């Protein structure tokens, strides 16, 4: 998974390097909430996002290596299995994020090019809407793998209540997976249906906040029930 993640990240960087050769020197770089271009910049600023993707890949690689080492040096089978499970989940999360951000970069480059060659004063691609839809898709992917994690301090619903024991972790993250996937579906629908990307983003953040609150409350209830045993 690490190799795939880095491959996608470097493809994004290489594709950007090739594509911007066909760009004018100055391209639209920022748009206000109404979609109007409020800043133009150098085409080389297009490298910012690929560099962020590479930094994110490094971030996940460090965590993956941590759990790989933990799996190799584990003193018991349970710890080894937990670390191995987290390696797989982190790898999938890293690949998914690299892929999503690469798709986003594709839309950003297309919007920048079409806006630059036409001299458009308004964005030609609603990047805000695209980002909301991709964010919803990432929520769904993340939720799908929450239930596959073992207790760890990197991925999952990491609260003192949920991390009390294996049972509280399993139940809390199963509920969290459902909550974040529902938030993802609602985010995608909102992003596709609303004309204002700013409003869609705010509503999507509201979905996430509601999901987090529900998860915290549920984790506490599971913890209290576990203590009652």
**For residues 130 and 106, is the Cβ–Cβ distance under 8 A?**
no
The whole-model pTM stands at 0.75
Domain spans, the chain: 1-122, 126-229
Res 178: pLDDT: 93
Q: Is the pLDDT of residue 150 over 90?
A: no
pLDDT per position as a tens digit, 42-63: 999 999 999 999 999 999 999 8
| Most confident segment among 93-102, 161-170, 177-186 | 177-186
> What average pLDDT does the segment 71-83 reach?
79
């Amino acid at each position: 998974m690490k190799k795939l993640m880095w491959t996608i990240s470097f493809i994004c960087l290489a594709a950007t390097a090739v594509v911007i050769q066909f760009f004018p020197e100055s391209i639209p770089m920022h748009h206000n909430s109404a979609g109007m271009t409020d800043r133009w910049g150098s085409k080389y600023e297009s490298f910012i996002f690929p560099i962020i993707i590479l930094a994110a890949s490094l971030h996940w690689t460090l965590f993956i290596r941590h759990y790989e080492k933990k799996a190799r040096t584990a003193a018991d089978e349970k710890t080894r299995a937990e670390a191995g499970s987290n390696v797989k989940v982190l790898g999938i999360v890293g690949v998914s994020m690299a892929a999503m951000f690469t798709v986003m970069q594709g839309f950003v480059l297309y919007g920048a090019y079409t806006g630059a060659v036409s001299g458009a004063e308004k964005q030609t691609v609603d990047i805000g809407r695209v980002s909301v839809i991709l964010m919803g898709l990432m929520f769904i992917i993340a939720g799908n793998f929450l239930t596959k994690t073992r207790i760890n301090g990197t991925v999952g619903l990491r609260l003192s209540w949920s991390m009390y024991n294996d049972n509280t972790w399993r139940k809390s993250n199963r509920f969290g997976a459902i909550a974040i996937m529902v938030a993802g579906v609602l985010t995608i629908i909102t992003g596709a249906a609303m004309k204002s990307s700013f409003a869609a983003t705010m509503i999507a953040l509201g979905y996430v906040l509601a999901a987090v609150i529900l998860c915290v409350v549920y984790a506490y209830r599971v913890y209290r029930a576990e203590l009652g045993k």
